[in-house]
Amino acid sequence: MRTGSASGGGGRLAAVAVVVVLGLLGAGFLLGQLTGGRDPVAKRDSPAPDRPSRARLAPPPARMPPPLPPREQPVSGPNHPPLPAEQGGPFGSRFTTGTPEVALTFDDGPHPQWTPQVLTMLADYGVKATFCLVGTKAAKYPQLVRDIAAAGHTLCNHSWDHDMALGMRDEQAVLADLERANAAIRAAVPGARISYFRQPGGFWSKRVVEAAHRLGMTSLHWRVDPQDWDSSPAYRIASDVNSQTVPGAIVLLHDGGGDRRSTLAALRTILPHLLTRFHLAALPPGRDAPRESESADSDARGGGNRWFPN
């Protein structure tokens, strides 16, 4: 009797175990169906893969703003930057384009992992932007500088080594820093026109704005900063840019200086969204002053500098 009882109890335990296992398997299957096969605790804003697939990009929007009239490039050169100082910007730096066009700008590059992916996305949507290059990075990755220029984007000086205290240094030190960064960019792209300067961190001073002006560069601030430099999630970067951008805004983004997977993921939303509302354009690099005969012909035709009113 004792043996039979033990045997019966063991059978009942085995049956209970089978029921429990089947129940767990069924619950797992049901959970998998409800979550679409994804990890139920996975983060929604997990970083994008290093090499985004073009198939994941939304197509360019079918409905776009009506075209703007053609505009001439402004004359620029030493002591004659392409855009004038702007009231409201720190020490006269620009925070708008001065036209209805919106300018996307990318700081802290070039970077061998992130910059090529940004260039690919911009090309897919037919968008030109402005790249603010750090001199040390330009010297290290000259081919990326050439790729940026060859794609028709505007070049901007972002100091030699991202010195956020540059504006506090004496005039000669500031000039030397900006000239060194320009030299690194032009070593990669001989004769490149570098018509903009952006102070690292936005820590502007009168001295650094005046030095940039002396070298023919407009000081470039921004109107929209989604703080993508601070590891913000992609959805927040996209939401800030899409909700804060207005006609004429200069938008600050980054293609270097850290892990930029969130920025890349956000661009997949930003680009098609903004293109339905605005014209996205690179800031004008400017052009050399025409020779006397060219100037006379232009005046006779009623031409002139129609870019960016004061």
- Residues 130 and 196 sit within 8 Å (Cβ to Cβ): yes
- Residues 234 and 262 sit within 8 Å (Cβ to Cβ): yes
Residue with the two structure tokens 């197509």 = 59
What is the DSSP code string of 80-95? B-SS---TTSGGG-BS
CB atoms within 10 A of CB 267: 29
The catalytic residues are 107, 254
Phi and psi (nearest 5°) for 57?
Answer: -75, 135
Residue with the two structure tokens 């009797």 = 1
What is the DSSP code string of 158-186? --SS--TTGGGS-HHHHHHHHHHHHHHHH
- Residues 196 and 158 sit within 8 Å (Cβ to Cβ): no
CA distance 140 to 84: 32
